[in-house]
Structure 1
Amino acid sequence: MIKFENVSKIYPNGTKGLDNINLEIEQGEFVAIIGASGAGKSTLIRAINRLIDITEGSLTVNDIDVSSLKGKELRQFRRSVGMIFQSYNLVPRVSVIRNVMSALVPEMPFIRVLLGTFSQEEKMTALKSLERVGIADKAFIRTDQLSGGQQQRVSLARTLAQNPDVLLADEPVAALDPVTAERVMEDFKHINEELNKTVLINIHHVELALKYADRIIAVKKGRVIFDGPVAECTEEVLADIYSTEEGVANESV
């Protein structure tokens, strides 16, 4: 379970990224976080794995106080909470399978990625992860030869290889064409349903959020203004979420 209790985040310039957030997200949920640009979506997602430190309140994941983690404990925790970014964060000049295997060895030196010194078990784990997202046939191709959608699926496979309980995705389909975006969202849905992984996606494509998620959390000016099943996220609710009030600045910080 992910639990926010009275969580706030105030940036050094005084901007309030999160304003007294109270949420509970159960294991196995597929949650889409929506809202206008600057509303606080990325801040909320990135607080869960301590890419952003909260200012006030309590944030726990499976009863672990996230704010208390340091050093090795924090690194180990982040392996249980996988993160997929819009920019893929892959090593472009090595093969797909080496990118995926890099997730299997904590703090692995970069030279080991380049040389490909992995065990047979690590190779099989990587291939299985690539198969789950339908891209195993690209395993031995250099990553920079893939399309954007294929690279995002490699990123997802790499995260799956570390066997996290939670998958966080920060605008994972923002840079993709509509057809490819649908394919990537289908991958997230299959992983959620087949492996019972908790999935939280920060997404600006409302139609994709409504199609693939089970639960919608809407954020506006750092506050949760809607939290409920997709069926209850009506046109009236959406109109309120995306009204033209000024949002939170510098959300991606």
Structure 2
Amino acid sequence: MIKFDGVGKVYPNGLRALDDISLEIDHGEFVAVIGLSGAGKSTMIRAINRMHEISEGTLTVNGIDVSTLKGRELRRFRRGIGMIFQSFNLVTRTTVLKNVLSAKVPDLSLWRVLLGAFPRKDHIAALEALDKVGILEKAYVRADQLSGGQQQRVALARTLAQDPRIILADEPVASLDPVTARQVMDDFRRINRELGITVIINIHHVELALQYADRVIGIREGRIIFDGRSDRVNGDVLENIYGRDTEEAL
């Protein structure tokens, strides 16, 4: 379980990105976080794996106070949380398979890392991850020869190769066309349902959030405006979250 208890985040320039956030996310949920740009969506999900430090309150994951983790403990903790970015973050001049295998680097000895000598079991796990997102046939293709949607699927496969309990996705479909965006969202939903992995997505497209997520959290100016089932999101809720920009969000 992920638990925010009175969490606040103030940046050095004085900007308050999160303001008294309190909520719980259970194992296996599919949650979409929506709101205007700058509302605090990215800050909230990046606090979960401590990419962003919180300033106030307590954030626990499976009973572990995230702020107390240091060094090896923090690295081990992060291994259980996959992170997907809008920009894919692939090494484009190497193959798809090698990109997925990079998820295994923290588990290898130095000589294996230097020689790129991944054990057979890691190769099998990487190929299985590619199969789960439907691009196994691209394993030996260079990443820069793939479409944007395919590259995002490689990023998702790389995350699956970590064997995560939680996947955080920060605007994963923002740079994709509508058809491809839905295909990638299909992958997230299937992974959530078939593997039971908790998925938390910061997403700009409200329509996709409502279609794919079971739960929606709406944030405005660092505060939670709505937290509930996606089928309970209506025009009034969206107006509270987006104000005059409601039509643009849709």
| TM class by smaller structure | over 0.9
Question: What do you get for the CA RMSD once the two structures are aligned?
Answer: 1.7
Q: Which residue of 1 aligns with 2:11?
A: 11
The C-alpha deviation readout for 1:89-117, integer Å capped at 9, x for no partner, is 11111110011011013076999678542
1:60 matched to 2:60: yes
Moved over 4 A (4+): 107-115
1:31 matched to 2:31: yes
1:135 matched to 2:132: no
- Which structure 1 residue ranges, 5 or more long, are not aligned? 246-253
- The separation in 1 between residues aligned to 2:108 and 2:135, in whole angstroms, is 24
Equivalent runs, 1:170-249 vs 2, <5 Å? 170-244=170-244
Displacement of 1:145 after TM fit? Answer: 0.8
**Structure 1 stretch 204-213 or stretch 232-241: which is displaced more?**
232-241
Partner SS, residue 219 of structure 2: strand
The C-alpha deviation readout for 1:177-208, integer Å capped at 9, x for no partner, is 00000000000000000000000000000000
Q: Is the 8 A contact 2:11 2:17 kept in 1?
A: yes
- Cα separation, partners in 2 of 1:114 and 1:203, compared to 1, 3 Å: farther
- The separation in 1 between residues aligned to 2:104 and 2:159, in whole angstroms, is 9
Q: Is the 8 A contact 1:94 1:114 kept in 2?
A: no
Q: Which residue of 2 aligns with 1:95?
A: 95
Q: Is the 8 A contact 1:99 1:113 kept in 2?
A: no
How many residues in Structure 1 have an aligned counterpart in Structure 2?
A: 245
The C-alpha deviation readout for 1:99-144, integer Å capped at 9, x for no partner, is 1011013076999678542121111100000000001000000111
Amino acid at match of 2:20: N
- Cα separation, partners in 2 of 1:160 and 1:186, compared to 1, 3 Å: same
The C-alpha deviation readout for 1:54-97, integer Å capped at 9, x for no partner, is 00100000111100111111111111011000011111111100
- The separation in 2 between residues aligned to 1:139 and 1:236, in whole angstroms, is 46
- Cα separation, partners in 2 of 1:110 and 1:173, compared to 1, 3 Å: farther
- Which structure 2 residue ranges, 5 or more long, are not aligned? 246-250
Q: Which has the higher helix share?
A: 2
Amino acid at match of 2:74: L
- Normalised TM-score (structure 2): 0.94
Q: Is the 8 A contact 1:102 1:108 kept in 2?
A: no
- The separation in 2 between residues aligned to 1:232 and 1:59, in whole angstroms, is 27
The C-alpha deviation readout for 1:14-58, integer Å capped at 9, x for no partner, is 110000000100000000000011100000010000000000100
- The separation in 1 between residues aligned to 2:113 and 2:180, in whole angstroms, is 28
Equivalent runs, 1:60-139 vs 2, <5 Å? 60-106=60-106, 116-139=116-139
